[in-house]
Amino acid sequence: MTSTIVILDDELDRLEAMNAVLSEELSQYKIAMFKNAPDIIAWLQDSISSAALISLDHDLFPQSEAEPDPGTGRDVADFIATQSPVCHVIIHTTNSIAAPGMEMVLNDAGWTNSRVMPFNDLEWVTTWWIREVIDHLK
């Protein structure tokens, strides 16, 4: 069953904005949010078949000095590429150097994907990003 929208992002304001717009527009879906690559990969290992859509940031930073390396969205894309495609992946990063590599590894593995470039603080979440999410859940 594909009932969960899965998100990787380390910025609390982005996660809050995404949660708010998803709760308003797509309340029938569960939401799983992660701030680091190891945690989302662990979730995907057990639950990827329930993913309706995956949205990945690339650059992740530790939430504190004591926190271990959070990895990157590319780490997650590399893991996803080892799995059979089950849903669309949105890459939502401002890192224009890393995003094409994420797209390439997903394309090569047969995963459909698209890119949403963050802009104007959080405006992109309630405009381009949610439209992309809705379009791929139809």
Q: What is the pLDDT of residues 112-131, one digit of tens each?
A: 999 999 999 999 999 999 99
Res 2: pLDDT: 64
Split into its structural domains, the chain has a count of: 1
Identify whether the C-beta of residue 47 lies closer than 8 Å to the C-beta of residue 95: no
To the question of pTM greater than 0.85 for the whole model, the response is yes
Number of residues that make up the chain: 138
Q: What is the pLDDT of residue 66?
A: 84
Please give the residue range of the domain that contains residue 19.
4-137
